[in-house]
Amino acid sequence: MVAMEYTIQELEKKANALRLDVIEATTAAGSGHPGGSLSSADLLAALYFKVMRHDPEDPEREDRDRFILSKGHAAPILYSALAESGYFPKEELATLRKMGSRLQGHPVKGKVPGIEMSTGSLGQGLSMACGMALAGKLDKKDHKIYCLLGDGELQSGQNWEAAMLARHYHLNNLIAFVDRNRLQITGCTEDAMSLDPLPEKWRAFGWNVIIINGHSMIQIVEACAKAKEAETNPTVIIMNTVKGKGVSFMENNCDFHGKACKAGEKDQAVTELCRI
């Protein structure tokens, strides 16, 4: 099992290490999705080094918590979290998106240990998470299912089919996160297809809603602790975040949704992240 004794400050350092991995890997690949990876780095650090019960030595152990990256394009941050946890060697991050690599452009179940589900086509992860949560209930297990959703992908109707089901079957073992960075490829989510008022939508579907600053480690950890105590219904943690968080020229810049840094940009990004 991963030691879960990290302090908030240490978790913040982990998040920064994950961000550096993302920049290195996507720059080496020459493509990928750094923006949405950086906005969810703090969450992934919290989940893999504090919140989740998991074991890189025994990735298939039955009582593990499961994590599904519904916004599969943020694969670099998931690969970084898995590598930093010890699921596979960190050097392998340099193979991201290359021919023959286990680190495909979007996550593939079974390719590397720790990937619970194939994702990448948006709008499907919450349904998959519901299935895992239902299985947990059927088997009377106490593990949790965590699912990270992009905000843009909530424009897809299947999420709301899943939201209905999760409430209908009282899946209190399901905890969803929305990476509310307010940007998608086209630009602002509210211009592409408005999502606000987002908390009200989830509340109307019967979910517990917690709203936090997605870059505050203490808020993430506390929100997860609260969500784990949910008695009857699923919980969504809406994380207000900044796309490209941690690198000045990437922040709130939707150009970096699906584009890697150039060599010079990378040096600046690394310098900035090393200063934190």
Partner 1 sequence: MTGKKLAQRNYYGKALADLAAKDPNVVVMDADLADSTKTTEFKKIAPERFIEVGIAEQNMIGVASGLAASGKIVFASTFAVFATGRCWEQIRLAVAYPKLNVKIVATHCGISVGEDGASHQALEDIALMRALPNMTVISPADAYEAYAATIAIAEFDGPVYMRMGRSEFPTITKEDAEFKIGRASILKEGDDATLIGTGQMVALCKEAADALLEEGIDVEVVNMSTIKPLDRETLKASIRKTGCAVTAEEHSIIGGLGAAVAEFLSQEMPAPLEMIGTKDTFGESGAPDKLFEKYGLTSNDIADAVKRSLDRKKEMKG
Among 28, 94, 134, 211, binds partner 1 (CB under 8 A): 134
**Nearer to partner 1 (CB atom), residue 135 or residue 193:** 135
Closest approach, Cβ 51 to partner 1, in A, equals 20
Q: Is 158 in the site for partner 1 (CB under 8 A)?
A: yes
How far apart (Å, rounded) are the C-alpha atoms in residues 146 and 122?
Answer: 16
Among 5, 91, 139, 231, binds partner 1 (CB under 8 A): 139
How far apart (Å, rounded) are the C-alpha atoms in residues 250 and 244?
Answer: 5
Task: Choose the binding region for partner 1 from 48-56, 82-90, 107-115, 223-231 (rule: CB under 8 A).
Answer: 107-115
Angle between helices 158-168 and 125-138 (to 10 degrees): 20
Among 110, 186, 187, 196, binds partner 1 (CB under 8 A): 110
Residue from 53, 222, 72 nearest 147 by CA? 72
**Nearer to partner 1 (CB atom), residue 22 or residue 133:** 133
- Buried b or exposed e, range 45-73, using 16+ CB within 10 angstroms: bbbbbbbbebbbeebeeeebbbbbbbbbb
Q: Is 114 in the site for partner 1 (CB under 8 A)?
A: no
Give residues 168-187 in contact with partner 1 (rule: CB under 8 A). Answer: 169
Among 4, 135, 188, 218, binds partner 1 (CB under 8 A): 135
Residue from 118, 138, 133, 193 nearest 166 by CA? 133
Closest approach, Cβ 70 to partner 1, in A, equals 10
Among 37, 80, 124, 208, binds partner 1 (CB under 8 A): 124
- CB of 205 within 8 A of CB of 160? yes
What are the distances in angstroms from CA 104 to CA 32, 97, 172, 193, 245? Answer: 10, 5, 32, 29, 24
Q: Which residues bind partner 1 (CB under 8 A)?
A: 108-110, 116-121, 124-136, 138-139, 157-158, 161-162, 164-165, 169
